[in-house]
């Protein structure tokens, strides 16, 4: 079974910073913010670059 991995953001850890390092590093531009909520859209390829860049450790790949 081939399951697609993708990043998810833990809203308990994410502080919704105006300057989101993972948002700028994502090659798929899959991290978005709407109404103060940061989320990963369906374009995520599961590469994990965002995980390494998040200073709050709020992102993991599942």
CATH number at residue 29: 3.30.70.20
Domain count, the chain: 1
pLDDT of 2 reads 57
The pLDDT, as a whole number, for residue 36 is 86
Taking 70 as the threshold, does the pLDDT of residue 1 lie above it? no
Is residue 1 in a domain? Answer: no
In a domain, 13, yes or no: yes
Is 43 part of any domain? Answer: yes
Domain that holds residue 25: 7-61
pLDDT score of 32:
96
- Round to the nearest angstrom and report the end-to-end CA distance of the chain: 15
Mark 41-56 as b/e (b = at least 16 C-beta within 10 Å): eeebebbebbeebbeb
Residue pLDDT, tens place only, 4-33: 899 999 999 999 988 899 999 999 999 999
């Amino acid at each position: 079974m081939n399951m697609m991995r993708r990043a998810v953001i833990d809203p308990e850890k994410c502080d919704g910073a105006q300057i989101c390092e993972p948002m700028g590093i994502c090659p798929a531009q899959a991290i978005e913010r709407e109404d103060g909520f940061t989320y990963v859209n369906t374009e995520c390829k599961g590469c994990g670059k965002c995980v390494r860049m998040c200073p709050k450790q709020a992102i993991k790949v599942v």
